[in-house]
Structure 1
Protein backbone atom coordinates (compact mmCIF):
# COMPACT_ATOMS: atom_id res chain seq x y z
CA UNK A 1 0.00 0.00 0.00
CA UNK A 2 1.22 3.49 -0.84
CA UNK A 3 1.40 5.49 2.37
CA UNK A 4 2.67 8.73 0.87
CA UNK A 5 0.73 11.97 0.93
CA UNK A 6 0.75 13.86 -2.34
CA UNK A 7 3.10 16.83 -1.88
CA UNK A 8 0.51 19.35 -2.98
CA UNK A 9 -0.28 22.18 -0.61
CA UNK A 10 -4.00 21.63 -1.11
CA UNK A 11 -3.85 18.28 0.71
CA UNK A 12 -2.59 19.73 3.96
CA UNK A 13 -6.01 20.31 5.50
CA UNK A 14 -7.18 16.73 5.01
CA UNK A 15 -5.52 14.96 7.92
CA UNK A 16 -7.54 12.63 10.14
CA UNK A 17 -8.05 13.62 13.74
CA UNK A 18 -5.25 12.06 15.76
CA UNK A 19 -6.53 12.96 19.20
CA UNK A 20 -7.88 9.48 20.11
CA UNK A 21 -4.46 7.98 19.41
CA UNK A 22 -2.28 10.28 21.50
CA UNK A 23 -0.05 8.48 23.94
CA UNK A 24 1.06 9.53 27.41
CA UNK A 25 3.61 12.38 27.24
CA UNK A 26 7.16 11.18 27.75
CA UNK A 27 8.38 14.37 29.42
CA UNK A 28 7.14 17.38 31.33
CA UNK A 29 6.61 20.63 29.42
CA UNK A 30 8.59 23.53 30.89
CA UNK A 31 6.87 26.77 31.89
CA UNK A 32 9.14 28.66 29.50
CA UNK A 33 8.05 26.52 26.56
CA UNK A 34 4.40 26.88 27.59
CA UNK A 35 4.72 30.66 27.83
CA UNK A 36 6.41 31.01 24.44
CA UNK A 37 3.91 28.69 22.81
CA UNK A 38 1.03 30.73 24.21
CA UNK A 39 2.41 34.15 23.27
CA UNK A 40 4.62 33.92 20.15
CA UNK A 41 3.06 33.83 16.66
CA UNK A 42 0.00 32.10 18.07
CA UNK A 43 -2.01 32.81 14.92
CA UNK A 44 0.13 30.20 13.14
CA UNK A 45 -0.18 27.50 15.80
CA UNK A 46 -2.90 25.50 14.07
CA UNK A 47 -1.18 25.64 10.68
CA UNK A 48 2.12 24.57 12.25
CA UNK A 49 0.48 21.51 13.78
CA UNK A 50 -1.09 20.69 10.42
CA UNK A 51 2.32 20.86 8.78
CA UNK A 52 3.85 18.53 11.36
CA UNK A 53 1.07 16.05 10.75
CA UNK A 54 1.37 16.47 6.98
CA UNK A 55 5.03 15.47 6.97
CA UNK A 56 4.88 12.76 9.64
CA UNK A 57 1.40 11.41 9.01
CA UNK A 58 0.63 11.81 12.71
CA UNK A 59 0.92 14.50 15.35
CA UNK A 60 3.26 13.65 18.24
CA UNK A 61 2.34 14.66 21.76
CA UNK A 62 2.70 18.34 22.60
CA UNK A 63 5.51 17.51 25.02
CA UNK A 64 7.51 16.56 21.91
CA UNK A 65 6.42 19.27 19.47
CA UNK A 66 6.28 22.34 21.68
CA UNK A 67 10.01 23.12 21.60
CA UNK A 68 10.12 22.91 17.80
CA UNK A 69 6.85 24.48 16.78
CA UNK A 70 7.86 28.14 17.12
CA UNK A 71 10.45 27.92 14.35
CA UNK A 72 7.86 26.28 12.11
CA UNK A 73 5.41 29.09 12.90
CA UNK A 74 8.09 31.56 11.84
CA UNK A 75 8.61 29.74 8.54
CA UNK A 76 4.87 29.78 7.90
CA UNK A 77 4.71 33.49 8.64
CA UNK A 78 7.50 34.20 6.14
CA UNK A 79 5.89 31.95 3.51
CA UNK A 80 2.45 33.50 3.91
CA UNK A 81 3.92 37.00 3.71
CA UNK A 82 5.68 36.15 0.45
CA UNK A 83 9.19 36.45 1.87
CA UNK A 84 9.97 32.73 1.58
CA UNK A 85 9.40 30.88 -1.72
CA UNK A 86 7.22 27.82 -1.32
CA UNK A 87 9.89 25.40 -2.54
CA UNK A 88 12.40 26.73 -0.04
CA UNK A 89 9.77 26.71 2.69
CA UNK A 90 8.92 23.05 2.04
CA UNK A 91 12.57 22.05 2.24
CA UNK A 92 13.16 23.93 5.49
CA UNK A 93 9.90 22.71 7.02
CA UNK A 94 10.63 19.06 6.24
CA UNK A 95 14.14 19.34 7.66
CA UNK A 96 12.76 20.90 10.83
CA UNK A 97 10.05 18.27 11.22
CA UNK A 98 12.83 15.66 11.12
CA UNK A 99 13.96 17.07 14.48
CA UNK A 100 10.50 16.40 15.87
CA UNK A 101 10.57 12.88 14.44
CA UNK A 102 14.00 12.25 15.94
CA UNK A 103 12.83 13.41 19.36
CA UNK A 104 9.72 11.25 19.14
CA UNK A 105 11.70 8.06 18.42
CA UNK A 106 14.34 8.53 21.13
CA UNK A 107 12.77 5.66 23.06
CA UNK A 108 13.79 3.34 20.19
CA UNK A 109 17.57 3.92 20.06
CA UNK A 110 18.90 0.87 21.91
CA UNK A 111 21.30 -1.40 20.02
CA UNK A 112 18.97 -4.28 20.84
CA UNK A 113 15.77 -4.65 22.79
CA UNK A 114 15.87 -6.11 26.30
CA UNK A 115 15.27 -9.83 26.65
CA UNK A 116 12.29 -9.04 28.88
CA UNK A 117 10.71 -7.05 26.04
CA UNK A 118 11.10 -10.00 23.67
CA UNK A 119 9.56 -12.28 26.29
CA UNK A 120 6.61 -9.94 26.67
CA UNK A 121 6.21 -9.83 22.90
CA UNK A 122 5.95 -13.61 22.53
CA UNK A 123 4.10 -14.31 25.77
CA UNK A 124 1.24 -11.97 24.88
CA UNK A 125 1.28 -12.50 21.11
CA UNK A 126 -2.29 -13.70 20.60
CA UNK A 127 -4.63 -12.32 19.53
CA UNK A 128 -3.59 -8.68 19.21
CA UNK A 129 0.09 -9.30 18.53
CA UNK A 130 -0.71 -11.29 15.41
CA UNK A 131 -3.22 -8.65 14.30
CA UNK A 132 -0.72 -5.84 14.83
CA UNK A 133 2.04 -7.57 12.87
CA UNK A 134 -0.27 -8.46 10.00
CA UNK A 135 -1.54 -4.89 9.83
CA UNK A 136 2.03 -3.60 9.52
CA UNK A 137 2.81 -6.16 6.82
CA UNK A 138 -0.27 -5.08 4.90
CA UNK A 139 0.63 -1.40 5.22
CA UNK A 140 4.34 -1.72 4.45
CA UNK A 141 4.14 -4.43 1.81
CA UNK A 142 6.71 -6.64 3.53
CA UNK A 143 7.40 -8.22 6.91
CA UNK A 144 9.89 -6.12 8.91
CA UNK A 145 12.51 -7.86 11.03
CA UNK A 146 11.52 -8.05 14.68
CA UNK A 147 14.72 -6.27 15.73
CA UNK A 148 13.32 -3.27 13.85
CA UNK A 149 9.63 -3.56 14.62
CA UNK A 150 9.28 -4.93 18.15
CA UNK A 151 8.51 -1.63 19.87
CA UNK A 152 6.26 -0.49 17.03
CA UNK A 153 4.33 -3.75 17.15
CA UNK A 154 3.84 -3.48 20.91
CA UNK A 155 2.60 0.09 20.45
CA UNK A 156 0.16 -0.94 17.72
CA UNK A 157 -0.90 -4.00 19.72
CA UNK A 158 -1.87 -1.78 22.65
CA UNK A 159 -4.04 0.37 20.37
CA UNK A 160 -5.77 -2.65 18.85
CA UNK A 161 -6.49 -4.05 22.30
CA UNK A 162 -8.31 -0.87 23.31
CA UNK A 163 -12.02 -1.61 23.00
CA UNK A 164 -12.78 2.09 22.58
CA UNK A 165 -10.73 2.35 19.36
CA UNK A 166 -11.58 0.69 16.06
CA UNK A 167 -9.01 1.30 13.34
CA UNK A 168 -10.26 1.46 9.75
CA UNK A 169 -8.60 -0.58 7.01
CA UNK A 170 -6.85 2.47 5.55
CA UNK A 171 -3.78 4.13 7.01
CA UNK A 172 -4.29 6.04 10.24
CA UNK A 173 -1.98 8.24 12.34
CA UNK A 174 -1.34 5.17 14.50
CA UNK A 175 0.06 3.32 11.49
CA UNK A 176 2.22 6.26 10.45
CA UNK A 177 3.72 6.44 13.93
CA UNK A 178 4.39 2.70 14.03
CA UNK A 179 6.00 2.69 10.58
CA UNK A 180 8.06 5.75 11.48
CA UNK A 181 9.45 3.86 14.48
CA UNK A 182 10.35 0.96 12.20
CA UNK A 183 11.86 3.00 9.36
CA UNK A 184 14.02 5.07 11.70
CA UNK A 185 15.29 1.95 13.43
CA UNK A 186 16.05 0.21 10.13
CA UNK A 187 18.30 3.09 9.12
CA UNK A 188 19.73 3.41 12.65
CA UNK A 189 20.91 -0.21 12.78
CA UNK A 190 22.13 -0.38 9.19
CA UNK A 191 23.70 3.07 8.69
CA UNK A 192 24.06 4.69 12.11
CA UNK A 193 22.38 7.47 14.06
CA UNK A 194 23.54 10.36 11.90
CA UNK A 195 22.03 8.73 8.82
CA UNK A 196 18.81 7.96 10.69
CA UNK A 197 18.51 11.50 12.06
CA UNK A 198 18.96 12.96 8.58
CA UNK A 199 16.72 10.45 6.82
CA UNK A 200 13.68 12.08 5.17
CA UNK A 201 10.43 11.90 7.08
CA UNK A 202 8.10 9.10 6.04
CA UNK A 203 6.01 11.11 3.59
CA UNK A 204 9.13 12.39 1.81
CA UNK A 205 10.84 9.03 1.29
CA UNK A 206 11.37 7.87 -2.27
CA UNK A 207 9.60 4.69 -3.38
CA UNK A 208 12.97 3.04 -4.03
CA UNK A 209 13.96 3.53 -0.40
CA UNK A 210 10.95 1.89 1.22
CA UNK A 211 12.21 -1.69 1.26
CA UNK A 212 15.70 -0.97 2.58
Structure 2
Protein backbone atom coordinates (compact mmCIF):
# COMPACT_ATOMS: atom_id res chain seq x y z
CA UNK A 1 0.00 0.00 0.00
CA UNK A 2 1.29 3.44 -0.87
CA UNK A 3 0.80 5.09 2.53
CA UNK A 4 1.34 4.02 6.11
CA UNK A 5 -1.39 4.20 8.73
CA UNK A 6 0.00 3.94 12.27
CA UNK A 7 -1.24 0.90 14.17
CA UNK A 8 -2.39 3.02 17.11
CA UNK A 9 -4.41 5.43 14.95
CA UNK A 10 -7.67 3.59 15.73
CA UNK A 11 -7.37 4.57 19.38
CA UNK A 12 -7.10 8.29 18.67
CA UNK A 13 -10.83 8.79 18.20
CA UNK A 14 -13.71 6.45 18.98
CA UNK A 15 -15.87 7.86 16.19
CA UNK A 16 -14.76 9.63 13.06
CA UNK A 17 -17.12 10.46 10.22
CA UNK A 18 -15.66 11.14 6.76
CA UNK A 19 -16.26 14.67 5.47
CA UNK A 20 -19.47 15.08 3.53
CA UNK A 21 -19.21 15.95 -0.16
CA UNK A 22 -22.09 18.36 0.37
CA UNK A 23 -19.83 20.57 2.47
CA UNK A 24 -16.90 20.55 0.06
CA UNK A 25 -16.11 24.17 -0.92
CA UNK A 26 -15.53 25.21 -4.51
CA UNK A 27 -12.25 26.79 -3.45
CA UNK A 28 -10.13 26.77 -0.33
CA UNK A 29 -10.83 29.63 2.08
CA UNK A 30 -8.35 32.42 1.45
CA UNK A 31 -7.82 35.79 3.08
CA UNK A 32 -7.30 38.39 0.34
CA UNK A 33 -5.11 40.38 2.70
CA UNK A 34 -2.53 37.62 2.38
CA UNK A 35 -2.29 37.99 -1.40
CA UNK A 36 1.35 37.91 -2.43
CA UNK A 37 2.52 36.42 0.87
CA UNK A 38 2.59 32.87 -0.39
CA UNK A 39 4.49 31.49 2.59
CA UNK A 40 2.04 32.78 5.19
CA UNK A 41 0.13 30.15 7.17
CA UNK A 42 -3.29 30.90 8.59
CA UNK A 43 -3.50 30.34 12.35
CA UNK A 44 -6.86 28.57 12.06
CA UNK A 45 -5.38 26.04 9.60
CA UNK A 46 -2.37 25.45 11.83
CA UNK A 47 -4.56 24.95 14.89
CA UNK A 48 -6.92 22.53 13.12
CA UNK A 49 -4.00 20.55 11.72
CA UNK A 50 -2.28 20.24 15.10
CA UNK A 51 -5.40 18.97 16.88
CA UNK A 52 -7.02 16.71 14.27
CA UNK A 53 -5.72 13.12 14.27
CA UNK A 54 -2.07 14.22 14.57
CA UNK A 55 -0.84 10.61 14.38
CA UNK A 56 -2.05 10.54 10.77
CA UNK A 57 -0.12 13.67 9.77
CA UNK A 58 2.60 11.78 7.89
CA UNK A 59 0.18 9.35 6.25
CA UNK A 60 -2.03 12.23 5.13
CA UNK A 61 0.82 14.13 3.53
CA UNK A 62 2.09 10.97 1.87
CA UNK A 63 -1.34 10.46 0.34
CA UNK A 64 -1.45 14.05 -0.94
CA UNK A 65 1.98 13.66 -2.51
CA UNK A 66 1.12 10.27 -3.99
CA UNK A 67 -2.07 11.51 -5.65
CA UNK A 68 -0.85 14.94 -6.72
CA UNK A 69 2.67 13.89 -7.64
CA UNK A 70 4.33 16.53 -5.50
CA UNK A 71 3.72 18.08 -2.11
CA UNK A 72 2.72 21.77 -2.07
CA UNK A 73 3.92 23.97 0.76
CA UNK A 74 2.25 23.78 4.16
CA UNK A 75 0.40 27.05 3.65
CA UNK A 76 -1.60 25.22 0.97
CA UNK A 77 -1.95 21.69 2.38
CA UNK A 78 -2.82 22.58 5.98
CA UNK A 79 -6.35 23.59 4.96
CA UNK A 80 -7.15 20.08 3.70
CA UNK A 81 -5.02 17.89 5.96
CA UNK A 82 -7.67 17.41 8.70
CA UNK A 83 -10.14 16.17 6.08
CA UNK A 84 -7.60 13.82 4.52
CA UNK A 85 -6.75 12.36 7.93
CA UNK A 86 -10.43 11.85 8.73
CA UNK A 87 -10.86 9.95 5.47
CA UNK A 88 -7.85 7.74 6.26
CA UNK A 89 -9.25 7.04 9.72
CA UNK A 90 -12.67 6.20 8.30
CA UNK A 91 -11.07 3.77 5.84
CA UNK A 92 -8.99 2.12 8.55
CA UNK A 93 -12.09 1.65 10.71
CA UNK A 94 -13.96 0.06 7.82
CA UNK A 95 -16.45 2.92 7.54
CA UNK A 96 -15.66 3.50 3.87
CA UNK A 97 -14.09 1.58 1.02
CA UNK A 98 -10.63 2.22 -0.38
CA UNK A 99 -12.01 3.50 -3.69
CA UNK A 100 -14.48 5.87 -2.04
CA UNK A 101 -11.78 7.13 0.30
CA UNK A 102 -9.54 7.93 -2.68
CA UNK A 103 -12.38 9.54 -4.61
CA UNK A 104 -13.21 11.86 -1.72
CA UNK A 105 -9.55 12.55 -0.95
CA UNK A 106 -8.92 13.50 -4.58
CA UNK A 107 -11.61 16.18 -4.37
CA UNK A 108 -9.81 17.86 -1.49
CA UNK A 109 -6.40 17.40 -3.09
CA UNK A 110 -7.65 19.07 -6.27
CA UNK A 111 -8.67 22.07 -4.15
CA UNK A 112 -5.11 22.25 -2.82
CA UNK A 113 -3.66 21.91 -6.31
CA UNK A 114 -5.87 24.68 -7.64
CA UNK A 115 -4.93 26.93 -4.74
CA UNK A 116 -1.24 26.17 -5.23
CA UNK A 117 -1.54 27.17 -8.88
CA UNK A 118 -3.53 30.30 -8.04
CA UNK A 119 -1.00 31.50 -5.47
CA UNK A 120 2.11 30.79 -7.49
CA UNK A 121 1.23 31.74 -11.05
CA UNK A 122 -0.05 34.65 -13.09
CA UNK A 123 -3.04 33.35 -15.01
CA UNK A 124 -2.89 36.21 -17.49
CA UNK A 125 0.63 36.63 -18.89
CA UNK A 126 1.55 40.21 -19.73
CA UNK A 127 4.49 41.77 -21.56
CA UNK A 128 6.68 41.65 -18.45
CA UNK A 129 6.15 37.89 -18.14
CA UNK A 130 7.42 37.29 -21.66
CA UNK A 131 10.35 39.65 -21.12
CA UNK A 132 11.33 37.71 -18.03
CA UNK A 133 10.83 34.43 -19.90
CA UNK A 134 13.30 35.60 -22.55
CA UNK A 135 16.04 36.53 -20.08
CA UNK A 136 15.61 34.42 -16.93
CA UNK A 137 18.41 31.82 -16.65
CA UNK A 138 18.47 31.65 -20.44
CA UNK A 139 21.41 29.23 -20.34
CA UNK A 140 18.96 26.56 -19.17
CA UNK A 141 16.07 27.55 -21.44
CA UNK A 142 16.55 24.88 -24.09
CA UNK A 143 17.12 22.08 -21.61
CA UNK A 144 14.05 23.06 -19.58
CA UNK A 145 11.86 23.17 -22.68
CA UNK A 146 13.17 19.78 -23.83
CA UNK A 147 12.59 18.22 -20.43
CA UNK A 148 8.99 19.40 -20.24
CA UNK A 149 8.29 18.27 -23.81
CA UNK A 150 9.75 14.85 -23.00
CA UNK A 151 7.30 14.19 -20.18
CA UNK A 152 4.30 15.89 -21.77
CA UNK A 153 4.89 14.20 -25.10
CA UNK A 154 4.73 17.51 -26.95
CA UNK A 155 6.08 21.05 -26.78
CA UNK A 156 3.35 23.27 -25.29
CA UNK A 157 2.73 26.85 -26.46
CA UNK A 158 4.66 29.44 -24.48
CA UNK A 159 1.45 31.07 -23.25
CA UNK A 160 0.75 27.83 -21.38
CA UNK A 161 4.28 26.96 -20.31
CA UNK A 162 6.29 30.14 -19.65
CA UNK A 163 6.19 29.99 -15.85
CA UNK A 164 6.58 26.22 -15.77
CA UNK A 165 9.67 26.48 -17.97
CA UNK A 166 11.16 29.18 -15.76
CA UNK A 167 10.50 26.99 -12.73
CA UNK A 168 12.40 24.09 -14.29
CA UNK A 169 15.23 26.44 -15.32
CA UNK A 170 15.56 27.45 -11.68
CA UNK A 171 15.70 23.80 -10.60
CA UNK A 172 18.30 22.99 -13.26
CA UNK A 173 20.42 25.92 -12.10
CA UNK A 174 20.38 24.75 -8.48
CA UNK A 175 23.61 22.87 -7.75
CA UNK A 176 21.99 21.11 -4.80
CA UNK A 177 19.33 19.41 -6.94
CA UNK A 178 20.06 16.58 -9.35
CA UNK A 179 17.54 15.74 -12.07
CA UNK A 180 18.07 12.40 -13.76
CA UNK A 181 16.26 11.12 -16.84
CA UNK A 182 13.22 9.93 -14.89
CA UNK A 183 10.33 12.21 -14.00
CA UNK A 184 10.64 13.97 -10.64
CA UNK A 185 8.29 15.87 -8.36
CA UNK A 186 9.60 19.10 -9.92
CA UNK A 187 8.65 17.89 -13.39
CA UNK A 188 5.20 16.85 -12.19
CA UNK A 189 4.63 20.28 -10.66
CA UNK A 190 5.58 21.92 -13.97
CA UNK A 191 3.39 19.55 -15.98
CA UNK A 192 0.51 20.14 -13.56
CA UNK A 193 0.75 23.88 -14.15
CA UNK A 194 0.80 23.46 -17.92
CA UNK A 195 -2.11 21.01 -18.07
CA UNK A 196 -4.15 23.28 -15.80
CA UNK A 197 -3.43 26.37 -17.89
CA UNK A 198 -4.23 24.46 -21.08
CA UNK A 199 -7.60 23.36 -19.72
CA UNK A 200 -8.25 26.85 -18.36
CA UNK A 201 -7.75 28.62 -21.67
CA UNK A 202 -9.31 25.98 -23.89
CA UNK A 203 -12.27 24.94 -21.74
CA UNK A 204 -12.62 27.38 -18.83
CA UNK A 205 -11.96 27.41 -15.10
CA UNK A 206 -14.68 24.92 -14.17
CA UNK A 207 -13.03 22.28 -16.34
CA UNK A 208 -9.49 23.19 -15.27
CA UNK A 209 -10.40 22.85 -11.59
CA UNK A 210 -11.40 19.19 -11.99
CA UNK A 211 -8.73 17.84 -14.34
CA UNK A 212 -7.18 14.56 -13.08
CA UNK A 213 -4.36 14.63 -10.59
CA UNK A 214 -1.05 13.92 -12.33
CA UNK A 215 0.30 11.68 -9.57
CA UNK A 216 -2.65 9.32 -9.90
CA UNK A 217 -2.39 9.31 -13.69
CA UNK A 218 1.33 9.03 -14.46
CA UNK A 219 0.60 6.53 -17.22
CA UNK A 220 -0.65 9.47 -19.29
CA UNK A 221 2.84 10.98 -19.31
CA UNK A 222 5.88 9.94 -21.30
CA UNK A 223 7.80 8.56 -18.31
TM-score for both structures, normalised by structure 2: 0.79
Shift of 1:64: 0.6
What's the CA shift string for 1:57-93, capped at 9, x where partnerless? 1000001100111100100000011111111111111
Task: State how far apart, in whole Å, the 2-side matches of 1:202 and 1:39 are.
Answer: 30
Runs of 4+ in 1 over 3 A off after TM superposition: 203-208
Aligned CA-pair RMSD: 2.0
Shift of 1:109: 5.4
Shift of 1:206: 9.0
Pair member with larger Rg:
2
Task: State how far apart, in whole Å, the 2-side matches of 1:100 and 1:39 are.
Answer: 20
2:184 maps to 1:169: no
Unaligned runs of 5+ in 2: 5-36
Shift of 1:126: 3.1
What's the CA shift string for 1:7-66, capped at 9, x where partnerless? xxx2447xxxxxxxxxxx714112222122112110111110011001111000001100
Instruction: Name the count of aligned residue pairs.
Output: 189
With a CA cutoff of 8 Å and minimum separation of 6, indicate the structure with the bigger relative contact order. 1
Unaligned runs of 5+ in 1: 1-9, 14-24
What's the CA shift string for 1:117-173, capped at 9, x where partnerless? 111211246321111111111111111111111111111111111122111211111
Give the alignment of 1:180-191 within 5 angstroms.
180-191=192-203
Give the alignment of 1:36-47 within 5 angstroms.
36-47=48-59
Residue 15 of structure 2 corresponds to which residue in structure 1?
Answer: none
Task: State how far apart, in whole Å, the 2-side matches of 1:51 and 1:173 are.
Answer: 14
Change (3 A) 1:131 1:63: same
Asked whether the 8 Å contact 1:49–1:59 carries over to 2, the reply is yes
Residue 153 of structure 1 corresponds to which residue in structure 2?
Answer: 165
